[in-house]
Structure 1
Amino acid sequence: MFVASSQPGSGPKPLKIFLIAGEHSGDALGAKLIGALKKQHPDPIAFSGVGGEEMEEQGFRSLFPIEDVAVMGPMSILPKLPRIVRRVYQTVDAAIAFAPDVVVIIDSPEFTHPIAKRIRKRAPNITIVDYVSPSVWAWRPGRAKKMRPYVDHILALLPFEPEAHARLGGPPCTYVGHPLIEKLDDIQNADANGLASRLGIAPDRPVLLVLPGSRTSEVERLIDVFGEAVARVASSKGPIEVIIPAVRHLRDRVAAKTEAWTPKPHIIDASATNDKYAAMRLARAALAASGTVTLELALAGTPSVVAYKVDKVMANLRFLLKVPSVVLANLVIGKNVYPEYLQEACTAENLANAIAPLLSDTVARSAQLAGLSLAPEKLRLAASSPSEAAAAVVLSVVADQPAGKSRRAGPM
């Protein structure tokens, strides 16, 4: 636990906030939330809970390393399940002992929601806020209504989520903005020419940006078919340059898998966001794995083709999807700007045929550019930043909660 205060010496009783982040993206959100809370709340704040390095840079001390629970997907969770279960109960016990004014669970529903349910059952008076809505609008919509007994308010990153929760009977939900909107200037002003110069790319050579994902499973499923698609495009369109931003823990694997590519790609550090955004601005088009990166590409105004493959278990659950697209950029813009190729449709031929028109001044390219121009305004907030908006909602939820109010725990 630590106490953040702008007032030295003794003073008011601190506001107590228990934060729970289950992976590194949640850690980044938590860090910005801590900073915004300290700016907006004039009195001391005592923080406790689970977080990572970025939250620790704000003075936060985690109950245990976030790496203990930072896993994705059922197949990744199973081997670590006993340890994760222990951490769940440890976190619940710590939250109850801390007796916070509010608990903020941040994303990672496989980890954070079991904790929230148990906190609500043991201490119904503790307010619980969920920062990042589960994708109830995409699949398993019944989850929205099931959240009401243990979540008091949701902070949404996507502008269509409050309406979705209202329609599905979920908890009260406020759009606080996607963190990428805070990076809009960095994305749109990235130094594309500087990157081209450092990589030795001639101004007249079209650049194809390839983004095979940031997880090992994504890269393994997509890298070969992406390579075949790149070869087809190079064969049909003439000389092109290829850039791949690779996360550090996968850089060696990406380099090995692309060693025989034609043309051989320039591999840059994906964690160097200035270079990644410069590559998006430099690229004539991109081939990307579905994910948050499609929002980055949309904000950069980069025409793209999106693809994805999942394991057989998840593929068999596709009938549960309730959205017209799995591409976040398309959902935010409100129409299917980026073509998507999933599972058996994710072939080298399909990808190459979709990419090729984007490298020239075609109707397909113009249509994408027109659609992408809508993305910044769709994500923009009327005022403040996402972290400031999130902090304001957290503080207002606490202020609106009557002292000593007890809630009846719903079904677990």
Structure 2
Amino acid sequence: MTLDKANELHIMLVAGETSGDALGADLMVALREISGRSLRISGVGGPRMEREGLASIFPMSDIAVMGPREIVPRLPLILHRIWQTVRHAVEHKPDILVVIDSPEFTHMVAKRVARRAPSIPIVDYVLPSVWAWRQGRARAMAKYIRRVLALLPFEPAFLKQAGVDCVYVGHPAIHRMPDEGSGARFRAARGIAPDEPVLLVLPGSRVNEVKHLIGIFGEVVSKLTEEMPSLKVIVPTVPHVRRLVEESVRRWSVPAEIIENDEDRRAAFDAGTAALAASGTVALELGLARVPMVIAYRAEALVGWFALSVLKVPSVVLINLILDRPSVREYLQSRCTPEYLLGGLRPLMSDTLERRRALADLEEVRVRMGVDGEPPSRRAARAVLDLLERPASPA
């Protein structure tokens, strides 16, 4: 199809899993709101992008797999889908291609499109964690990625060293912050007084995380309750591990309420005094909700040793990386014990100097992430459209 470039802008989006589908859908909405031009959007996406009008080249579920056990049996289909996506780009020549997260799939597409149709600028929305694991990958990206849309405020400076253009647009966790007053309503609905301590316990969203941490967390809760009899314990979880969480929490010596609903989860964050959480994106969500926290990580000895040995940053907690200082206490592997965790958590449960410092640090995180600014999806849309207005670099 020949496009009338004066009237229509063709943007190709490629997402490979649920998180990318959500980002892609929000980006589609924002592009239409601010482009000022007729848009044609093609590519690969899931249900949310399809609801925004994308006719996906093939079902995103074909490529939304994780880990060798899922990938290997479907490798022929995945390779076919990679080439199908590349052919679509080469044949239809979009004005710009945006690959979204899922680097194992999307970067395979981007590299091949860059070789076969070098005139198509390629944007990477969500930087792979090259700063944490494979720093050489950033330099390799410069050969086929024109611009990166970063979720974290420290990423542009890191990529600048590798010669990659990067724009900070904001993390989707900004969209998941609690509504004002939701914490007070959460407490009132459960008969929890405004001055009673509430501990949020988040043992992870993966089965192995929960298995390694929830017993240790239960011991911490038990010891803390002995010191604080009025303590209320809330355990936010996700559907696919809820049964395991329920079975484990039932064996705790103190009662705890398990919640799963997203609205309840956000309200609980607003109500929480402090949190004990598995390492992961949840630390950023807690930080944006101004919940002081202690972070834990434990895996099988060999897996844990390997993960920590290849880590290229001083912390696994995004809050610490954003602030560039050790604000949140983290207890990894051999230090992930009830005694250590209790020692880190105890001063966060009342009005101590350590708690006040933690709250001040979390306020700084909110400022650095631009919480009160333009929504991330609109920043991302502006960064995409801005690139189209720039002259192409010489080949």
* Alpha-carbon offset, residue 130 of structure 1: 0.4
In structure 2, how many angstroms separate the alpha carbons of the residues matched to 1:79 and 1:302? 42
Q: Which residue of 1 aligns with 2:168?
A: 175
Instruction: Classify 1:120/1:223 alpha carbon distance in 2 versus 1 (closer, same or farther; 3 Å).
Output: same
Q: How many residues align?
A: 393
1:387 to 372, 377, 384: 377
Q: Which residue of 2 aligns with 1:296?
A: 285
In structure 1, how many angstroms separate the alpha carbons of the residues matched to 2:304 and 2:75? 19
Q: Tell me the amino acid that sits aligned with residue 96 of structure 1.
A: V
Alignment of 1:4-403 (within 5 A): 12-73=6-67, 77-78=71-72, 80-167=74-161, 169-184=162-177, 187=178, 189-270=180-261, 272=262, 274-310=263-299, 312-313=302-303, 315-380=305-370, 384-402=374-392
C-alpha offsets along residues 358-396 of structure 1, whole Å, 9 cap, x if unaligned? 112223222212211211111017953221121111112
Assess if the C-alpha contact under 8 Å between 1:333 and 1:375 holds in 2.
Answer: yes
Secondary structure at the aligned position of 2:259 is classed as strand
More displaced stretch, 277-286 vs 314-323: 314-323
* TM-score, length-scaled by structure 2: 0.91
More displaced stretch, 149-158 vs 65-74: 65-74
Q: Tell me the amino acid that sits aligned with residue 369 of structure 2.
A: L
Instruction: Classify 1:286/1:104 alpha carbon distance in 2 versus 1 (closer, same or farther; 3 Å).
Output: same
In structure 2, how many angstroms separate the alpha carbons of the residues matched to 1:366 and 1:76? 46
Gaps spanning 5+ residues in structure 2: where? none
Secondary structure at the aligned position of 1:208 is classed as strand
In structure 2, how many angstroms separate the alpha carbons of the residues matched to 1:20 and 1:304? 35
Identity of aligned pairs, percent? 47
Assess if the C-alpha contact under 8 Å between 1:146 and 1:170 holds in 2.
Answer: no
C-alpha offsets along residues 57-105 of structure 1, whole Å, 9 cap, x if unaligned? 2111223333332334556644544443333223222322332111101
Assess if the C-alpha contact under 8 Å between 1:124 and 1:406 holds in 2.
Answer: no
Instruction: Classify 1:94/1:177 alpha carbon distance in 2 versus 1 (closer, same or farther; 3 Å).
Output: same
C-alpha offsets along residues 282-317 of structure 1, whole Å, 9 cap, x if unaligned? 111101112222122112211110112345346314
In structure 1, how many angstroms separate the alpha carbons of the residues matched to 2:305 and 2:114? 34
Instruction: Classify 1:75/1:199 alpha carbon distance in 2 versus 1 (closer, same or farther; 3 Å).
Output: farther
Q: Which residue of 2 aligns with 1:6?
A: none
Gaps spanning 5+ residues in structure 1: where? 4-9, 408-412
* TM-score, length-scaled by structure 1: 0.87
In structure 2, how many angstroms separate the alpha carbons of the residues matched to 1:11 and 1:158? 34
Assess if the C-alpha contact under 8 Å between 2:176 and 2:266 holds in 1.
Answer: no
C-alpha offsets along residues 233-272 of structure 1, whole Å, 9 cap, x if unaligned? 22333342111111123222221221122222111124x2
Instruction: Classify 1:84/1:256 alpha carbon distance in 2 versus 1 (closer, same or farther; 3 Å).
Output: farther
More displaced stretch, 353-362 vs 306-315: 306-315
In structure 1, how many angstroms separate the alpha carbons of the residues matched to 2:76 and 2:219? 41
Secondary structure at the aligned position of 2:11 is classed as strand
Secondary structure at the aligned position of 1:278 is classed as helix
In structure 2, how many angstroms separate the alpha carbons of the residues matched to 1:385 and 1:346? 36
Instruction: Classify 1:154/1:361 alpha carbon distance in 2 versus 1 (closer, same or farther; 3 Å).
Output: same
In structure 2, how many angstroms separate the alpha carbons of the residues matched to 1:343 and 1:213? 15
* Alpha-carbon offset, residue 128 of structure 1: 0.5
In structure 2, how many angstroms separate the alpha carbons of the residues matched to 1:23 and 1:133? 15
Instruction: Classify 1:85/1:153 alpha carbon distance in 2 versus 1 (closer, same or farther; 3 Å).
Output: same
Instruction: Classify 1:377/1:80 alpha carbon distance in 2 versus 1 (closer, same or farther; 3 Å).
Output: same
In structure 2, how many angstroms separate the alpha carbons of the residues matched to 1:201 and 1:74? 46
Assess if the C-alpha contact under 8 Å between 2:304 and 2:333 holds in 1.
Answer: no
